[in-house]
Amino acid sequence: LNIAVLVSGGGTNLQSIIDAAEAGEINGQIKVVISNKENAYGLERARKHNIEAVFENDEEKVIEILKEKEIDLVVMAGYLKIISPRFVNEYKNRMINIHPSLIPSFCGKGFYGKRVHQGVLDYGAKVTGATVHFVTEGADEGPIIMQEAVPVMQDDDADTLAARVLKVEHKILKKSVGLICDGKVKVDGRRVYINE
């Protein structure tokens, strides 16, 4: 499959997909990395691996690029921009997102980046984790593809917790992309079936 990855920041999730693809773990090719932030380090990561890197903040132009490159799968990897229902529907069941909590907890409006982990700590939750899901019109509420739990330690702060969750994000995101590229992921309403 032709893959596009959308980033807004450091791009460590992007890096995990780049590395997995280069290691032959993903039967797909990252054709382009697009960011709404000109200085997103994720764009630099793409350039270092000879992947086209585009700074583009206009959604119409982003969609044009995706069509021009015949993208089959759009991966939102730390992409901090709300996209329109039109964009979502263009890529229904072909657009996935990684969120650093166990959806439906600590997600949706206001829960992004460090705020997710601060919310977990403030609530006193003992377990958190990461979720890969299909993108639908509402934020962080599409059908769930994969999740993995992470313990919350008593001496955690948002940074130490974020770091532990980030490792799991990398793992389940590259695994999910690999399974989708192998045609092993089927969506049935809210349920997602994986035939490993």
Residue 160 marked ligand-binding: no
* 119 in a labelled binding site: no
CB 14 to ligand GRF: min, Å = 6
Residues numbered 52-71 forming contacts with ligand GRF, rule: CB under 6 A: none
Binding to ligand GRF by residue 77, rule CB under 6 A?
Answer: yes
Residue 83 is labelled as binding a ligand: yes
Which of 99, 117, 133, 170 is labelled catalytic?
Answer: 99
Any contact of residue 96 with ligand GRF (CB under 6 A)? no
**CB of residue 102 to ligand GRF, shortest distance in Å:** 13
99 is catalytic: yes
Near ligand GRF by CB under 6 A: residue from 43, 74, 100, 180? 100
Asked if 28 touches ligand GRF (CB under 6 A), the answer is: no
Residues contacting residue 147 through CB under 8 Å, at least 6 positions apart: 102, 103, 129, 130, 131, 132, 172
The reply to whether 12 sits in an annotated binding site is yes
Binding site for ligand GRF (CB under 6 A): 7, 9-14, 42, 77-78, 98, 100, 112-113, 166, 169
Catalytic residues: 99
Binding site per annotation, positions: 11-13, 80-83, 97
Binding site per annotation, positions for (6R)-10-formyltetrahydrofolate: 80-83, 97
